[in-house]
Amino acid sequence: MLYREAGDFKTSYHADNHTFPIKFDRIGFWVTLAVAFGIIPLVINDYWANAIFVPFLIYAIAAIGLNILTGYCGQVSLGTGGFMAVGAYACYKLMTGLDLYFASSGYTPGDGAMIPKGGETFEVTGQFLFFTIAQNAEWTVYILENINPMIAVILAGFVTAFVGVLFGLPSLRIKGFYLAVATLAAQFFLVWMFNKISWFYNYSASGQINAPERFVGQIAVTGPNTEPWAQYMICLIFVAVCALIARNLTRGTTGRSWMAIRDMDIAAEIIGVNPLRAKLTAFAVSSFFIGISGALFFAVYLGAVEVGEAFGIQKSFLVLFMIIIGGLGSIFGSFAGAAFLVLLPVLLKVIGVDLFGWPTDLVAHFQLVIIGALIMFFLIKEPHGLAQLWRLAKEKLRLWPFPY
């Protein structure tokens, strides 16, 4: 009898548009945040962080990003793994330093500090944003020193947003199956590029990238000495901010234009929705979130990645399965789908391997069978996924014990 609107009066327009209209939901939301920020960091250990919480939070960000593009805007994408790779490699280059060379013009020697770079000597002549500008007679070099890892993750998101807009341009001409094939081509092209061009992995002989140890204050947040609670907290902060941004975007004018394009793009254009702006903003915001998840996946979770193994086509399908099972067009569905597909392998291992003693490969095959069966079930019986089942359960709870 607690889950009722009775007595929960709305006295302002703001209250009437609250994300959680029922007081019981609001209390549950704040309790969940209090537990997530105040209790779990105190008790979390390495197993819980690396097996459940950190991958769940990172995949939740990726699922939110893909849900914005596919669930809210109706643009099918199979390039999530490639965009996560863009975020990871952008974060790596920002964390390890970046030198951009341009031909010098109008350089006159001064009394600035001299620094060696690439076998030559340069004079420091200025500063631009995070870059130190140095020059000699032939070259002007913009030197990006090692920057704060939090800033590196955010900038990696912006780099991925730019790349996402470039690959989103075909959506202005094609849609449906053809757009899915175009984004699939982006997936294969990006993985090929990061494998082929050695500059992206700093000419490493192994071809993989390794996250250097970086600190926020006195706390290590990347590298081998990172504490489990620090891994968890940095991912939780990004999840909370990304979910808040996504929730407000989808409830505002931008989100309504995305949904109009999804439901019927021609009718949306007739009533004044700009399809160019709507589709490209969806690609930009989606890629921004996915880039952040890729940067966290590399820098905080794995620490070392090889693009073909970590960000292959299976990663794109995994995130797509998350939003199908969790629910298209739902922020909660992104969290539900990510939680389900992160917990499923752990539960199958505990039940199959530890309890019944089955071979590990047999349990892995069972996992694929279960995921495939669930996808077919949800696509046929409940296209809106776990989020819709949760909504129906809440409706029943609001009416209980009455039938209607």
Is the pLDDT reported for residue 203 higher than 70? Answer: yes
Q: Which residues contact 254 (CB under 8 A, 6 or more apart)?
A: 278, 281
Least confident of 62-76, 89-103, 208-222: 89-103
Residue 62: predicted pLDDT: 97
Contact between residue 48 and residue 228 where contact means Cβ atoms under 8 Å apart: yes
Residue 170 DSSP label = G
| pLDDT at site 338 | 96
Condensed to tens digits (0 to 9), the pLDDT of residues 104-139 reads 776 677 777 777 766 677 778 778 777 778 887 777
- What is the tens place of the pLDDT at every residue in 218-264? 889 998 889 999 999 999 999 999 999 999 999 989 999 999 999 99
400 against 288, higher pLDDT:
288
Mean pLDDT of 34-53: 94
**pLDDT at residue 23 is higher than 90:** no
Confidence of residue 100 (pLDDT cuts 50, 70, 90): confident
Query: For residue 231, what pLDDT is reported?
Result: 95
What residue ranges in 93-168 does DSSP mark as E strands?
98-103, 114-117, 120-128, 131-135, 139-144
Distances (CA, A) of 35 to 43, 45, 100, 335: 11, 16, 45, 16
User: Taking a C-beta distance cutoff of 8 angstroms, is the pair 324, 378 a contact?
Assistant: yes
Distance set, CA 125 to CA 97, 104, 107, 114 (Å): 19, 12, 10, 10
pLDDT tier, 325 (very low <50, low <70, confident <90, very high otherwise): very high
Residue 372, classed as helix, strand or coil, is: helix
Q: Confidence class of residue 1 from pLDDT cuts 50, 70 and 90? A: low
CB distance 165 to 284 below 8 Å: yes
Predicted confidence (pLDDT) at residue 64 exceeds the cutoff of 90: yes
Is residue 59's pLDDT more than 90?
yes
